[in-house]
Structure 1
Amino acid sequence: MSIKSKQFTLAQVYAVEVIHELTDSANLPFVVGAIDKTTHERAEYVVKLNASERMVPYGRMFELYYQNSC
């Protein structure tokens, strides 16, 4: 589904655990276990912290667009 679609919604999740840190990535993101607020399904998500090195506002939007366009 395209991010431009009227049916697109961004999932709201609650992180419940840090599984591990991706130390080979420039921004040192974490893989977290999280539960979807609506469906209550548990899944793993990659989380990049706003304060990470090289994380700038336009970079966050590119990540959102890129992940949803695949």
Structure 2
Amino acid sequence: MAGIKSINLDGEEIYVFNSAIYIFESSEGSTLEVDLIVSEVTLRKYQDRESLITEIELEDGR
């Protein structure tokens, strides 16, 4: 599995200390889950937003 190279939230790149990306498949469909460790400043900035446009670039170029 490829690691995460960069993450953009609403067009702004954030610094990620550690991350993991999971894809769960079931008979009802697939679910993407991303776990991130970010700074408290980043958390406060984005925690009250109902939705975010998220772009994830993996280390293998995907």
Q: TM-score, normalization: structure 2?
A: 0.36
**Structure having the larger proportion of residues in helix:** 1
Identify the structure with bigger relative contact order (alpha carbons < 8 Å, sequence gap 6+): 2
**Structure having the larger proportion of residues in strand:** 2
Q: TM-score, normalization: structure 1?
A: 0.34
